[in-house]
Amino acid sequence: MLSKASARFSKIAPRKARIIANLVRGREVGEAIQLLQFTNKRGAQIVRHLLDSAIANARQSGADVDDLFISKATVDKAPNRYYRRWRPRAMGRATRIVKGVSHIAIELDQREQRQ
């Protein structure tokens, strides 16, 4: 692990964000940025911002950006922290409205140079 970045409590369902994380996992950084730029999903914007942050963290440690690839991309469910509302149900009951909230993490590593 060379550098990492994480976005906690992102207002996107984990199921939707995992599609984008699976799309970029294992790819070179330049290829992943280009792929995220032209992907027409809301999660792509969040993951691209997070990837830019991980690249900036790698630059701080003096890494060559051209050799980086996404070694790990995870999306976990976060607690329902923001949307605390209730929906009326039958027979005088109420249920909570559950909206998706995610913890997204990306780790970058350097590709081994083959000779």
pLDDT, tens only, 3-49 = 999 999 999 999 999 999 999 999 999 999 999 999 999 999 999 99
| pLDDT (mean) for 49-59 | 95
Q: Give residue 96's pLDDT band: very low, low, confident or very high (50, 70, 90).
A: confident
Per the listing, tokens 């909230």 go with 101
Residue ranges and CATH numbers for the domains of the chain are: 3-110 (3.90.470.10)
Nearest-angstrom CA–CA distance, 85 and 83: 6
Whole-number average pLDDT of the chain: 91
For the chain, what percent of residues have pLDDT higher than 90?
A: 77
What residues does 70 pair with on adjacent strands?
A: 108
Q: What is the pLDDT, as a whole number, of residue 60? A: 92
Per the structure block, which two tokens stand in for 32? 């992943």
Is it the case that residue 109 has pLDDT exceeding 70? yes
| pLDDT (mean) for 84-89 | 89
The H or E element that residue 48 is part of is helix 42-60
Contacts of residue 82, Cβ cutoff 8 Å, sequence gap at least 6: 9, 11, 99, 101
Prediction pTM value: 0.85
